[in-house]
Structure 1
Amino acid sequence: MPRDDRHPSRRAFLDVTGGALAAGLITGCSSDSPQPDRPVPSTAATPKPVPAAGRHQAGVTLPRSAQRNLLALVADLGPEVAPGPLLAELGEAIRTLTAGSDPRLLGLSPGDLTVTVGVGPRLVRTAGAALPGATDLPRFSRERIASRARGGDLLLQICADDAPVVPVAAAALLAQAGDRVRERWRQSGRRGTDVSVAKGLTAPRNLLGFIDGIVGPHTTAEQERDLWLAGPPEVAGGTLAVLRRMELDLTRFAALSVAEQEAVFGRRRASGVPLSGGTPASAPELGAKTPDGRYLVPVDAHVRRANPTAVGVGHMLRRSYSTDEPAPGLLFISFQNDLRTFTATLTRMDTSDALLPFTTTTAGASFLILPGFDRQHPLGSTLFG
């Protein structure tokens, strides 16, 4: 049975956590290991906790540098399930999990755990057909998406630097939801080591070896303009998310020379600098040419085809997570306050982007990321209160 057509079992969860425990037991069996009653203090820096409450949900711009590990879990609500009470319960569970006071963490420290909740177009339409997020994501070329891997009612984006925290938090949230939700698909991913691209700005390398996520709304002013929804009041403080899981043809891409790979992206592989020059954070000079009249940034380079100014849209906050199961690839997530920012960009890329032939999209969905919440204003209460 295809992966997207079955639900993760309790055994699958126990296999994961049991494997982690077994690994810990194996590494603790050397003759130099400490005695069980003499624990060794950890020398690793403990990630700073990220508050769950606030104007915006955590996990989008907080923490500033995204955590290493992510699980995107997409589910449907039962036909008779009221979204409001379910979301309020999930919000309270998120608060206790991130605070470290939930026994379902099994003694793990939550560290920088964040859980970001979104609702799909079907649920948004029940609150208002004209609201942002009510429109389904259109279909694009180079897609091979099974019906269960397209769309969904509920998104749980769970992130943490400490890998075991992620599936444990997911199990707690699914237990909280119970039989009110039915899982559609899930995808785990990891981010590479961050590379400094400008003062106060870092980005990781993707599975193709290039620095990913350099361009985006990084300042507060840019985020207010292009990222956060200003209204209507039901969604103010939220944003729109697009998820796309893609398989990558690593073998064919690796067969290219470094110069050919750089022409696909329009950037230097080692540094991230645009082929037109400057620094990694410099905007590519799309009109710059060689003395013989060739564009320094090729006409089909990814940075040209996806350039916000050329497309005529705002910036999207982009995150890419490397995956190796069900196939080597990446999970692409973008956040923006207008779905057209994504759809117009991908439509332009569809016509001639040198990167797309190396990709096949196998899952896709869009969600309204709900506004922030606190104890007085439960998660989802502005939309489903």
Structure 2
Amino acid sequence: MRPADSRPSRRAFIGAAGAVAATGLTAACESPESSPTGPSGPASPAAGPREPASPASGARVSPTGRHQAGITLPRPAQPNLLALVADVGAGVAPGPLLAELGRTVRALVAGTDPRLLGLPPGDLTVTIGVGPRLVRTAGGASLPGATGLPRFSRERIAPRARGGDLLIQICAGDALLLPVAAAALLDQAGDRVRERWRQSARRGANVPVGGGLTAPRNPLGFIDGIVGPHTEAEQQRDLWLAGPPAVAGGTLAVLRRMELDLPRFAALSVPEQEAVFGRRRAGGAPLSGGPAASGPDLGAKTPDGRYLVPADAHARRANPAVVGTGLMLRRSYSTDDPAPGLLFISFQNDLRTFTATLTHMDTSDALLPFTTTTASATFLILPGFDDRHPLGAGLFG
């Protein structure tokens, strides 16, 4: 992680590229067609449709359109992710900065930016969001994305790891691209931004869960994501912002980096671990029965009256039908630096979807005692862009 008071430069860019060659850095990006139920992600009540055939590995993903790439496209997603959070300097105009970053994204994806150092871009995607402070300066406190996250229990967050003005999410099939693309974007931003923190992460191979869906396992050994807003109708209802016009086509992202107490969880018996999640470890089926892709039957009981899905199971406490919220597009990524854990990212068009869920989990979710959150932020993911509409032009034009 770059020190908080450092600033990007061409020397830093070249240094980062050299470090990649020396260390063989690896990271990971979650598939958007699966919806993990990690420590801060709820279980969805209904499975989506069969996912479409995957494009060829490394196929180019267009960076332009109504929505930014890296949220629902590509499908399935690339296996590597780097999230970078930064601040924008006082007096810096966000509009020109974002427009430049958008042009740089297009050049990186096209492979025409010399700062790629000859690496083929393949399926590289870059997704950019702005934090509450910048949103408020552009549209006031009522605009989606203008509100930060409240504080929750089980947090140990340093001041520089909470909040931020700018999110750059980079995903790719080739892990070598992540820090190289990040260095190019920071080089383009120059002294106008200062990095707060970054996190690279990874996930395992997708596991079939039925209904044409796949999902990865998390470091706790459980299949981490089975259901979510897969259909276009669900995404229009719960994922994409419909308005006002300046943000239409965007969404809201929440980032939570968590350490996991792996030894303590591993000391539980398998039935005890399954009671924490509310699902079978081997195949992901709900403890209430049925296939993995189905939602749990929260009313099912044993003959002696006990719930098959325990009252404090994650699948129950985080269920949107129980919480009374919409669906999140949830992603979780395995990390091992600075500590073994997860980087959790959710996308939703109402921040309450996340905050109400975690508030409900905070009271008695059996999974939370195995987690400690060490970084937290929320961002307005800007609408898509193209030649006529630069990145961020609707909000900062």
Q: When the two structures are superposed, what TM-score results if normalisation uses the length of structure 2?
A: 0.88
Contact 2:99 2:391 in 1 (8 A): yes
- Which residue in the other structure is 2:31 paired with? none
Q: CA deviation at 1:199?
A: 3.0
Q: Does 1:200 pair with 2:212?
A: yes
Counterpart mapping for 1:41-52 below 5 A? 46-52=57-63
State which of 38, 49, 55 in structure 1 corresponds to 2:66: 55
Which one of the candidate residues 125, 130, 136 is aligned to 1:125?
A: 136
Give 5+ residue unaligned stretches, structure 1. Answer: 23-44
1:103-128 superposed Cα distances (whole Å, 9 cap, x missing partner) = 11111111111000000000000111
What is the correspondence of 1:346-385 to structure 2 with a 5 Å cutoff?
346-385=358-397
C-alpha distance in structure 2 between counterparts of 1:303 and 1:139, whole Å:
23
For residues 109 and 200 of structure 1, what CA distance do their matches in structure 2 show?
31
| Aligned pairs, number | 362
Q: Which residue of 1 aligns with 2:105?
A: 94
Q: Which has the higher contact order (CA 8 A, sep 6+)?
A: 2
Give the corresponding residue for 2:36: none
Q: CA deviation at 1:203?
A: 1.0
Alignment of 1:182-197 (within 5 A): 182-197=194-209
Label 1:92 to 1:178 Cα distance change in 2 as closer, same or farther (>3 A): same
Q: Give the number of the structure whose alpha-carbon radius of gyration is greater.
A: 1
Q: Report the counterpart of residue 67 of structure 1 in structure 2.
A: 78
Distance 1:364 1:348 in 2: 18
Amino acid of the structure 2 residue aligned with 1:75:
A
Give secondary structure in 2 for the equivalent of 1:158: strand
Deviation at 1:47, TM superposition (A): 1.4
Contact 1:4–1:146, Cα closer than 8 Å, also in 2: no
Q: CA deviation at 1:344?
A: 0.1
Q: What letter is aligned with 1:292?
A: D
Q: Which residue of 1 aligns with 2:28?
A: none
Q: 8 Å contact 2:333–2:343 — kept in the other structure? A: yes
* Structure 2 letter corresponding to 1:188: S
Aligned to 1:186, what secondary structure does the other structure show? strand
Is it true that 1:337 corresponds to 2:349 in the alignment? Answer: yes
CA RMSD in angstroms comes to: 1.7
Cα separation, 2, equivalents of 1:232 and 1:115: 24
Asked whether 1:13 is paired with 2:25, we answer no
Deviation at 1:201, TM superposition (A): 1.9
Is the CA contact 2:7–2:194 (under 8 Å) kept in the aligned structure 1? no
> Corresponding residue for 2:237?
225
3-state SS in 2 of match to 1:124: helix
1:306 aligns with 2:318: yes
Over residues 338-357 of structure 1, what are the superposed CA-to-partner deviations in whole Å (9 max), with x where a residue is unaligned?
Answer: 00000000000000000000
Q: Does the CA contact (< 8 Å) of 1:121 and 1:134 recur in 2? A: yes
Q: Which residue of 1 aligns with 2:43?
A: none
| CA deviation after TM superposition for structure 1 residue 372, in Å | 0.3
| Consecutive unaligned residues in structure 2, runs of 5 or more | 26-55
Letter in 2 for 1:17: V
